[in-house]
Amino acid sequence: MKINSIRSIRRTELSKAAFEAVVQFGLRGTTLDRVGDIAGVSKGVVLHHFKDKSNLLEAVFRRSNSILSESVVELYRYAESSHERLWCVIIANFASVIFNKRVCQAWVSLISEVPHNKQCQRIQIACNARIQSNLTYSLKNFLGNQDAKDAARHLGTLIDGIWVRSGLLVDPVDSSRAISEIQFAVSKIIPNGAISQEKHIIAREKIESIASIVLGSRAFQEKLLKVISK
Amino acid sequence: MKINSIRSIRRTELSKAAFEAVVQFGLRGTTLDRVGDIAGVSKGVVLHHFKDKSNLLEAVFRRSNSILSESVVELYRYAESSHERLWCVIIANFASVIFNKRVCQAWVSLISEVPHNKQCQRIQIACNARIQSNLTYSLKNFLGNQDAKDAARHLGTLIDGIWVRSGLLVDPVDSSRAISEIQFAVSKIIPNGAISQEKHIIAREKIESIASIVLGSRAFQEKLLKVISK
DNA sequence: ATAAAGGCTTACCAGTAGAAAGTTTTTTGT
DNA sequence: ACAAAAAACTTTCTACTGGTAAGCCTTTAT
């Protein structure tokens, strides 16, 4: 880690710069020169640290997904019941540090790299599988095995749908609106008998308030950096 | 129309070629040269008919969305009840002529153009609004006004989610699986009392079988061409 | 028949990805 | 402490890309 430190620092800086370029100029407008400009180095440096543009974009993609995964892990530490664990996964996906216009639009731009990039596919599949398994695990407390799986798949797809729409449509991205859309789905999926709505809302609100503090904190950001620069 | 016919024919040919390029090489691999090659003309022709690359991609985007909208309209002609009308919208989105790996991946590639292209945004918004209003209209037969709106939004988002996942993940795209995911959502959304599951399944199957015949037919394809080349 | 217009090609320019070779700085072995 | 090796960075070069502009050829209108 000591040996690679400069390299990994540069890789982190450059993928941040690349992300910024995607935010500002879209995927088609993101050139190596611009990425270099934003990072304050020459284009050559970019290609010195990443073998090519696909490799760079892949790093950006991995970065965004890591932030998401780590957020779930972090929130899990504070969860004390299965409802709370369920809401950890959901809130992590829609906490405003993560879920906002810039990021959603960048994500929509980035995913166009996936179909023709095996590595990105791998990342996406892993990330999806993890979210789904987290959801399934929590849902098994309220539903039978097969129902829990179906419901987890359903919620996962819905999360992707909300992300895509937030990136595509012009209306402002709104965390609480996104969450209440999920709440709508959850309330339909989990039969009223299994668990009272109130308990769910309490769990959601607890995790939501933890998320707004924890995910935005300096400590968490620094923790992330270590994970991300791998 | 006679005067412009060559122009509109070329525009259709070229957007088909561009679509094919996106399918084969992804958005980043889609160059004007390649589009020209596929269409069997020089790059200059492409720019003669489209003012720039954005304009071309926009046409491709409009084309795909038109096919979707027109499919809904076409299926509507055969619907005889509100259940059937509800399923028209859904089945049109997942009929195998439209919903397959090539198209899903191309769609995922194409939408990265949306955040930085006002015209594409306009198209996307219009298309979404139409689907949503169709869904809302049908759902009002089973739910109250506000519930119908929420449910329509939910289903619309879910449809987008399924599309995105089908384009992103490697597992094969499967119409019937997609439809059964929607069926899952519909069965949760519409209270059992309002309408029996059986009636729904019958409606779905009727529209599904009509779709497999009608949407793939020569007549429909020709009808589409007229609409698409505008 | 000839002028006008639209369809198409070619030649060109300013970027753009990426390879390669060269230079500086840092790390490491002794 | 210092030379050798490795890594960080720069510069240069090439093939290709999007986009412009000038020009040629075919069709149509008069």
pLDDT tens-place string over residues A129-183: 999 999 999 999 999 999 999 999 999 999 999 999 999 999 999 999 999 999 9
Q: Is the CB of B216 inside 8 Å of chain A's CB atoms? A: no
Query: Given CB atoms, is B14 within the 8 Å cutoff of chain A?
Result: no
Of A1-10, A165-174, A178-187, B117-126, the range with the lowest mean pLDDT is A1-10
Taking 60 as the threshold, does the pLDDT of residue A4 lie above it?
Answer: no
B8 vs A23, residue with greater confidence: A23
Rounded-to-integer distance, Cα A218 and Cα A209, Å: 16
Q: Name the maximum alpha-carbon separation found in chain B.
A: 62
Report d(CA A159, CA A167) in Å as an integer. Answer: 13
Residue A111 and residue B108: Cβ atoms within 8 Å? yes
Radius of gyration of chain A (CA): 19
Question: Per residue in B113-151, is it b (16+ CB within 10 Å) or e — as a string?
Answer: bbbbbebbbebbeebbebbbebbbebbbebbeeebbbbb
How many CB atoms are closer than 10 A to CB A196? 11
pLDDT of residue A191: 77
pLDDT score of B229 more than 80? no
Q: Which CATH number do you get for residue A79?
A: 1.10.357.10
Structural domain boundaries, residue B9: 3-229
Distance CA B31, CA B57 (A): 11
Residue of B68, B90, B53, B106 lying closest to B184 (CA atoms) = B90
pLDDT tens per residue, range B164-190: 999 999 999 999 999 999 999 999 998
pTM of the model: 0.94
Question: A100-104, A220-224, B32-36, B166-170: which range is least confident on average?
Answer: A220-224
DSSP reduced 3-state for B173 = coil
DSSP-derived secondary structure for A28-51: HH--HHHHHHHHTS-HHHHHHHSS
If you compute the radius of gyration of chain B from its CA atoms, what whole number of angstroms results?
Answer: 19
Tokens at A108, concatenated: 């929509």
**Candidates B23, B120, B157, B183, partner chain A, best to mutate (most A CBs within 10 A):** B157
CB count, 10 Å around CB of A186?
Answer: 24
With 0-12 / 13-18 / 19 or more C-beta atoms within 10 angstroms meaning exposed / middle / buried, residue A60 is buried
**Total domains in the fold of chain A:** 1
Average pLDDT score over residue span B96-110: 95
CB-based contact, A189 to chain B, within 8 Å: yes
Give me B115's structure tokens. 């955040």
Please, which residues have CB within 8 angstroms of residue A6's CB and are 6 or more apart in sequence? none
The secondary structure element, H or E, covering residue B170 is: none
Q: What is the pLDDT of residue A193?
A: 63
Q: Which nucleotides of chain C does any protein CB come within 7 A of?
A: 6-11, 15-21, 26-28
B164 with A162: Cβ contact below 8 A: no
Whole-number average pLDDT of chain B = 92
- Residue A121: what pLDDT? 96
The whole-number Å distance from B30's CA to C4's C1' is 36
The pLDDT score that the predictor gives to residue B4 is 57
Q: Give the pLDDT mean for A103-109.
A: 96
**Residue B162, amino acid:** I
The single-letter DSSP state of residue B172 is P
Taking 90 as the threshold, does the pLDDT of residue B7 lie above it? Answer: no
Question: What average pLDDT does this structure show over A90-98?
Answer: 95
Cα–Cα distance between A211 and A74 in angstroms, integer?
9
Contact A169 B112 (CB under 8 A): no
pLDDT of B40 strictly over 50: yes
Residue matched to tokens 């958005």: B27
